[in-house]
């Protein structure tokens, strides 16, 4: 009996301690953002004048982690409650939809630090452990570390170091669109060594996959130089995504206003790309056949015995490309899909038969 009493007492103490910890954790306002801003604006001398806005969604795992594990911590609560009017808003409900648009929320959770007028001072993105989270919030209180401030610093003094300072904070804020636009702006102004430098290369993925970007076309026009600096294998690997996108757009009829010679001046590079990607010859051939209006020959490439030997990714690209062609009939697509089902069912049956053979 005494032992049972001690167990029950221990459980009760644990529940009490948890409740106490949550009670002194982060206190969030229950009203609207406008009300939170008004509270900050009318706060007394020693009360918080800033707003901490937790931009979350219901489906976001890291958001749930922050809500259930980090915000209830005493250390986090003491810091946030002392320095901010705190509020949580679901970005997919009510006023959250407009807030997400206004503040360009691209990832969850995003934590905004706002002045009492609703102007963004800075932001922190993602889930973090207690000490790291508090440290990031403290650093974010310095407006000079924000993406906006870093971009302004670059405009005032267009050095490469200032450009990279902006790119770093923009990447941390998940400003992918802004990064792409910024690179398009600065890329033509850089020397070859800087254009194809290791440091800038890490930021170019979105631009290279866009066949209309300045980066993509500069890379095409200066490929030998880029190969020399970065190695041919790396340049080819990067260019393939843009060239494949270009081929997809072409056969789907979205490049009707572009001269065919211009299209194939780029697509004809595909067969000469390094690597052994099995889909590349198919993609180039499909584009050529489409240009020659040989739709029946394209349909003949939909052969599961051939495509089935490829990886799911390679086969998927070819299927997607052919299926995007308006002239490919529904009957052809249906016939291929049925053949694919039969093909994989036969593989499953063969494997099952092998497994059911008696062991020697």
Q: How confident is the model at residue 360 (pLDDT cuts 50, 70, 90)?
A: low
Q: Is the pLDDT of residue 166 over 50?
A: yes
**What mean pLDDT, rounded, does the chain reach?**
89
Q: How confident is the model at residue 2 (pLDDT cuts 50, 70, 90)?
A: very low
Q: Which of 202, 284, 192 is nearest to 246 (CA)?
A: 284
- At residue 142, what are phi and psi to the nearest 5 degrees? -85, 110
pLDDT digits 0-9 by tens, 144-158: 999 999 999 999 999
How far is it, in rounded angstroms, from Cα 239 to Cα 169? 26
Instruction: Say what the pLDDT of residue 44 is.
Output: 82
Q: Is the pLDDT of residue 78 over 90?
A: yes
Lowest mean pLDDT among 13-17, 99-103, 224-228, 323-327: 13-17
pLDDT digits 0-9 by tens, 328-356: 999 999 999 999 999 989 989 888 888 88
Instruction: Say what the pLDDT of residue 4 is.
Output: 45
Question: DSSP 3-state assignment of 60?
Answer: coil
Instruction: Say what the pLDDT of residue 7 is.
Output: 40
DSSP string covering 282-328: HHHHHHHHHHTT-HHHHHHT--HHHHTTS-HHHHHHHHHHHHT-TTS
By CB neighbour count within 10 A (0-12 exposed, 13-18 middle, 19+ buried), where does 348 fall? Answer: exposed
pLDDT digits 0-9 by tens, 85-142: 999 999 999 999 999 999 999 999 999 999 999 999 999 999 999 999 999 999 999 9
Q: Which of 97, 92, 80 is nearest to 36 (CA)?
A: 80
pLDDT digits 0-9 by tens, 20-30: 444 579 999 99
Instruction: Say what the pLDDT of residue 215 is.
Output: 93
Task: Please give the class, per CATH, of domain 18-143.
Answer: alpha beta
Tokens of 163: 């450009």
Q: Where are the domains of the chain?
A: 18-143
Instruction: Say what the pLDDT of residue 152 is.
Output: 95
Yes or no: say if 301 and 322 are a contact pair by the CB < 8 Å rule.
Answer: yes
Instruction: Say what the pLDDT of residue 17 is.
Output: 46
- At residue 275, what are phi and psi to the nearest 5 degrees? 100, 170
């Amino acid at each position: 009996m005494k032992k049972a009493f001690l167990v029950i007492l221990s459980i009760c103490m644990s529940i009490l301690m948890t409740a106490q910890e949550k009670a002194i954790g982060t206190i969030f306002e229950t009203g609207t953002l406008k009300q939170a801003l008004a509270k900050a604006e009318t706060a007394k001398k020693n009360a918080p004048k800033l707003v901490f806005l937790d931009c979350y969604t219901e489906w976001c795992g890291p958001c749930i982690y922050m809500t259930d594990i980090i915000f209830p911590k005493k250390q986090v609560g003491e810091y946030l409650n002392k320095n901010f009017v705190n509020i949580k808003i679901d970005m997919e409900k009510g006023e959250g939809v407009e807030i997400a648009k206004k503040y360009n929320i691209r990832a969850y959770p995003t934590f905004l630090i706002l002045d009492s007028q609703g102007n963004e001072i800075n932001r922190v993105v993602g889930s973090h452990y207690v000490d790291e989270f508090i440290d990031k919030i403290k650093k974010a209180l310095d407006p000079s570390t924000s993406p906006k401030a870093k971009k302004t610093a670059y405009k005032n003094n267009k050095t490469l170091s200032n450009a990279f300072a902006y790119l770093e904070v923009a990447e941390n804020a998940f400003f992918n669109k802004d990064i792409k636009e910024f690179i398009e702006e600065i890329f033509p102004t850089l020397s070859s060594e800087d254009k194809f430098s290791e440091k800038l290369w890490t930021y170019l993925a979105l631009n290279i996959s866009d066949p209309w970007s300045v980066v993509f076309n500069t890379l095409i026009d200066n490929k030998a130089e880029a190969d020399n600096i970065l190695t041919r294998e790396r340049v080819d690997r990067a260019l393939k995504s843009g060239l494949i996108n270009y081929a997809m757009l072409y056969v789907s009829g979205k490049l009707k206003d572009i001269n065919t010679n211009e299209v194939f001046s780029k697509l004809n590079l595909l067969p000469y790309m390094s690597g052994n990607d099995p889909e590349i010859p198919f993609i180039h051939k499909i584009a050529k056949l489409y240009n020659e209006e040989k739709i029946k020959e394209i349909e003949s490439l939909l052969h599961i015995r051939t495509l089935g030997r490829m990886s799911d990714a390679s086969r998927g690209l070819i299927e997607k490309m052919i299926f995007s062609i308006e002239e490919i009939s529904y009957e052809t697509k249906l016939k291929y899909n049925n053949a694919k089902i039969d093909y994989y069912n036969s593989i499953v049956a063969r494997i099952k038969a092998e497994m059911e053979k008696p062991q020697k």
